[in-house]
Structure 1
Amino acid sequence: MQVEGLEIRWLGHDTFLISDGKVLITDPFDIKERTKADIVLISHNHYDHCSPEDVKKVSHEGTVVVAPENCKSCLKGLKTVFMRSGDEKVIDDVKIKAVPAYNVEKSRLRFHPKDYGGLGYIVDFLGKKLYFAGDTDLIPEMSGIDVDIAFLPVSGTYVMTAEDAAEATKVMRVKIAIPMHYGSIVGSRRDAERFKELASCKVIILE
């Protein structure tokens, strides 16, 4: 689907293929896609986000994988740039800023504590600014984020609920939000629809 001039496809869970000549893939998991990525973004080292087998499926010899340091052991042998929150890198003319992704709700805190080092990313990709939130709750660092497209988890349990994700669209400046993290490990399309009902910006639910 064309969104803000970019071709964006949801491949399930937190996996998106974003392209306009150059190809960016986020958290590849359970991949059946044959398209190869120029850049792969990994949010953290849980098996459904950092899957070496799936990263290899979407990689060619020039692919650069961007990941937090907690992924070092599972990405051995791959061309990887490791980042910490606050780091900024330019990779193949794409500017990438690492931002925090963590839980604050007590029911979820054991999954992604702040010191665990999970990441989201703000990416300047072919003229558009994207925010890939990773596995996170609604956190103070979201305030003031200014992007064209935000990819936000909505299923609860391990990440924000639909209600929290909608609140995130109110503290950020975002043109379009695309829900993720449902329909596979946890959550359903109803979570995405609930998010769309409550969000303060345009929401596109990808099939």
Structure 2
Amino acid sequence: MYVYKDITIKRIAHDCFLVSNGKINLYFDPFKIEENLPKADYILITHEHFDHFSIDDIRKIIKESTVLFMNEMTEKALGDQLANKIVIINPGDSMDYDGIHIKGVPAYNVNKFRERGIVYHPKEDKKLGFIVLINNVKIYHVGDSDNIPEMKNLKDENIDILLIPVSGTYVMTPKEALDATLTINPKVAIPMHYGAIVGSEADAQDFVEAVKKKGLDAVLI
């Protein structure tokens, strides 16, 4: 667990995080949810792949008032389940709930290919990253993405916490994640997308050490 100002951030597995200000519990990409975790007020889902969008894990943390944010492709994968709890969000959209500002940003591949000419996460699918402002702390969950041109515009966002993939499989390598981190210039970078399906803790540690050598802060949680 990592504490930044009055926000706690717990990495659960892979790209799944619990962010809390003590009153509101927000989850990114529920996956491998542990027992006895608090119920979710908000669930933000980056895309429809099973390791980011797990119905069984969502059901472990959902309650009557939970709101789920997802794109249309993920909604189609969900079908009629939980339809009354869904808010559609696409890259470029932003909205406010309970004093929390949620913004969708692009997440896609430029050089991770399923087969020749076909990337794992195409831009046209409108898969998501999220920028969340909670208690004046700005958190950027990159989602499954490469170091994309849109990240150059995020330096002016003054990101406090960057949650960034580092495994190199389907997403950025540690070196590519370092380059993206230097572009975004967060207060703290936290690696993700390792240790559950692809990527190792060594990948995450390499990233943390490389970021620190460049004079920025990074932590492994």
TM-score by length of 1: 0.95
Q: Distance in 2 between matches of 1:204 and 1:30?
A: 21
Alignment match, 2:136: 127
Alignment match, 1:71: 74
What letter matches 1:127 in structure 2? N
- Listed one character per residue, the Cα deviations across residues 93-122 of structure 1 (whole Å, up to 9, x for unaligned) are 211110000000053652101112110011
Q: Distance in 1 between matches of 2:130 and 2:43?
A: 11
Alignment match, 2:12: 11
Alignment match, 1:44: 47
Is the contact made by 1:144 and 1:173 (CA closer than 8 Å) also made in structure 2? no
Q: Distance in 2 between matches of 1:68 and 1:17?
A: 20
Alignment match, 2:121: 112
Aligned length: 206
Is the contact made by 1:154 and 1:191 (CA closer than 8 Å) also made in structure 2? yes
Q: Distance in 2 between matches of 1:64 and 1:95?
A: 14
Is the contact made by 2:112 and 2:169 (CA closer than 8 Å) also made in structure 1? no
Q: Distance in 2 between matches of 1:25 and 1:205?
A: 18
Equivalent residue of 1:56, what SS? helix
Q: Distance in 1 between matches of 2:72 and 2:186?
A: 28
Q: Distance in 1 between matches of 2:163 and 2:133?
A: 14
Q: Distance in 2 between matches of 1:48 and 1:41?
A: 13
TM-score by length of 2: 0.89
What letter matches 2:10 in structure 1? R
Alignment match of 1:139 (pick from 120, 143, 148):
148
Alignment match, 2:196: 184
Equivalent residue of 1:17, what SS? strand
Alignment match, 1:53: 56
What letter matches 2:124 in structure 1? D
Higher helix share: 2
Q: Check if 1:154 corresponds to 2:154.
A: no
Measured on the aligned residues, the alpha-carbon RMSD in Å equals: 1.3
Q: Distance in 1 between matches of 2:61 and 2:77?
A: 16
Q: Distance in 1 between matches of 2:145 and 2:101?
A: 22
Equivalent residue of 2:92, what SS? coil
- Aligned-residue identity in percent: 44
Q: Check if 1:204 corresponds to 2:219.
A: yes
Higher strand share: 1
Q: Distance in 2 between matches of 1:69 and 1:194?
A: 35
Alignment match of 2:28 (pick from 14, 26, 29):
26
What letter matches 1:6 in structure 2? I
Alignment match, 2:103: 97
Q: Distance in 1 between matches of 2:153 and 2:185?
A: 6
Q: Distance in 1 between matches of 2:32 and 2:159?
A: 28
Structure 1 residue ranges without an equivalent (≥5):
none
Alignment match of 1:82 (pick from 84, 88, 95):
88
